Structure 1
Amino acid sequence: MAGLDALVTGCRACPRLVEWREEAARVKRSAFRDWEYWGRPVPGFGPSDAALVIIGLAPAAHGGNRTGRMFTGDRSGDVLFAALYELGLSSQPTSTRLGDGLQLHGVRVTAPVHCAPPGNRPTARERDTCRPWLEWELRQLRSTARSIVVLGGFGWLAALPALEAAGWTVPRPRPVFGHDVRVSLQPAATGSPLRLFGCYHVSQRNIYTGRLTPAMLRTVLSSAAETAGL
């Protein structure tokens, strides 16, 4: 997994994303003008033998693109890590920067797109270009992963073919995303079954409008953790 993470951070496959992430790192947000931004693709975070995997969307321009860690340093991450902490899956409820002491217990957080996109909206082509990284990561986790929580419809559409390529059988027709949707995936050959959970994304918009509440998030994460044996 360490080798995969190192390769991810050197990727320059999508010119639009490379230009945007590096521009954001140069210009910076005024609140972070003293930061040295990461400005590269952001690898997954968490143990390489995780039983529970959380798949998001992409790093935020002034969150993960600044800190170098998924969901770290933005308000979406504040909600996610607080929920994980309440469930005993994180060593602390906040995640501000690399080296802040955060550890995840049995959980790995990743995304289908590893670069910060303009307007938080990667294109379908960028998603598909980045998908081999997710496929590789899921293959690495195949012997230990027992449940996956996908945050949002974009991640769901990216995760299904990646899971199939990584060795699980995805039902036909493919399951439609929805909050608290649950799908059982069987291994295509050897291996263990996997439980797939849909959850609204922890975006500021969803939190502020009440579409996703902390309680709703905890319910999904709790069920996924129980399924994973955590």
Structure 2
Amino acid sequence: MRIALFVTCLADTMFPAAAKATVLLLERLGHEVVFPQEQTCCGQMHINTGYQKDALPLVKRHVRTFEPYDVVVAPSGSCVGSVRHQHAMVAGSDAGLAARASAVAARTYELSELLVDVLGVEDVGAYYPHRVTYHPTCHSLRVLRVGDKPERLLRNVRGLDLVELPAAEQCCGFGGTFSVKNADTSTAMLADKMRHVLDTGADVCTAGDASCLMHIGGGLSRLQTGVRTVHLAEILASTEA
């Protein structure tokens, strides 16, 4: 299958390992991955902070860039959630653009969705000998409703000891610009999340969104806990210790 990589801003600028792991994993499974050079931000940050007019050119560009591809994947439940649930809305009265945005959205998948629902794979041949806990990010859980697909993939990783995260469904407090505008509340939510992560005794906390991992990982690092945050794609792409 020929799959277009929607890299996302955060992966492109700060966490390229997640994007590279996505490519490595899909190629190892026998698929061709292409990277449309024209892609930019999907506009989620603008939309979520009320700048829909400024997001419109980004939505138009996203649709134009990914329209030629039958399948699009992103290592981010957050950005896929925006494409799937916000782009047609931003198009507004432009019925043609809205229809095109909906068509692109219908074939855009978060990584675990693509693997389980489209490719029909739960064992990707990974090996990762670590004690791992999984944080279900808000957008993947509540917007995309990926359910237990990430855990099903993790349970099939050889050497991996998956431990349940207490109060897993609680937000980590990042929420994009929420963490900037409501820093005190965000920090309190992060403290709860870190306590639950540490209670598992895990070596690694994983998730499908680099944004949440950045928030959680930053806190764990500042406390010098020794617990690492690793994107789901990196674990699934791993074949050695």
TM-score by length of 1: 0.35
Structure number, greater radius of gyration: 2
Structure 1 or 2: more helix by fraction: 2
TM-score by length of 2: 0.34
